[in-house]
Amino acid sequence: MKILVVDDHALVREGLRQVLKGLEENLEVLQAGNCEQAFSVAQTHGDLDLVLLDYHLPDMNGLEALGIFGARHPELPIVLLSGSANVHIMRQVLQAGAAGFVTKSCVSDELLRAVRSVLSGDIYLPQELSAANAFQQPPPGNRPVLTQRQELVLRCLLDGLANREIADQLHVSEETVKTHVAAILRHFDVQNRTQAVVAAARIGYRPMSAN
């Protein structure tokens, strides 16, 4: 497993690295002090499993960086870190495609729980956001209308499966899966898979594995 930690404070990066070592023995933690370095590392290491991204960085904020990561690496999950439990920022980054949000004041166990959740294909919503009812579930009549096959593909996305894995599971071609994914993105009016998963989770869609 390989995780990139992006923070402009070396001590914070090292602290996060030590905590993340609790995930598994062979974990490799890469580090970057700003967004430019982070983009370069992500380009070089195409096998990254996750990025922990500080919201307040010297060259751009986390929301801007999230957009660039989403355009260049749409299937790479990003978890935002912040020293502030600002609900408005939480909503912004999650709606922009972040797979989770964690405050720097959280305990180590919560960070590991968030990372494990995201790596398993889920979206990690902080307690502060849930308490503020920032993501209220719309009434069932407002749920986007998807075909049965598109719903199956969507639930595979919620499971964190890649296109090839979805194709194998549903016994269809990879091109067919790509077509369904494109339709799902249009239905939710989003730009990438992570944003689609966030939107779907908000209105009650559950992974295949939840059955």
How many residues in total does the chain contain? 211
- Which of 104-118, 133-147, 156-170 comes out lowest in average pLDDT? 133-147
- Global pTM value: 0.64
Whether residue 155 contacts residue 205, with contact meaning beta carbons closer than 8 Å, is answered with: yes
Cα 44 from chain centroid (whole Å): 20
Asked whether residue 193 is domain-assigned, the answer is yes
Sheet-wide strand order for 2-6? 28-32, 2-6, 50-54, 78-82, 100-103
Contact by Cβ (8 Å): 112, 133: no
Model confidence pLDDT, tens digit, residues 168-183:
988 888 888 888 888 8
DSSP state, residue 124: B
Could you tell me if 56 and 155 lie in one domain?
A: no
- Give a yes or no: residue 136 inside a domain: no
Q: For residue 51, which of 13, 107, 89 has the smallest C-alpha distance?
A: 13
Tokens for 197? 């998963």
Q: Are residues 79 and 20 in the same domain?
A: yes
CA distances from 197 to 25, 30, 129, 158, 203 (A): 29, 26, 17, 6, 10
Q: What are residue 28's phi and psi, to 5 degrees?
A: -110, 125
Q: Decide which of 131, 159, 183 is a domain's last residue.
A: 131
84 in the same domain as 33: yes
Residue ranges of E strands in 62-125: 78-82, 100-103
Token pair listed for 177: 């899966």
- Collapsing DSSP states into helix, strand and coil, what is residue 192? coil
Q: Where are the beta strands (DSSP E) in 10-49?
A: 28-32
Mean pLDDT of the chain: 84
| pLDDT tens column, 88-121 | 888 888 877 888 899 888 888 889 999 998 887 7
Indicate the number of domains in the chain.
2
**CATH number assigned to the domain comprising residue 92:** 3.40.50.2300
Residues 6+ apart with CB under 8 A from 78: 50, 51, 53, 66, 69, 70, 97, 98, 99, 194
- 53/198: higher pLDDT: 53
Residue-number span of the structural domain to which 66 is assigned: 2-131
At 66-87, the pLDDT tens digits run 889 988 887 788 999 988 777 8
Mean pLDDT, residues 124-137 taken together: 57
Q: Please check whether residues 79 and 175 belong to one and the same domain.
A: no
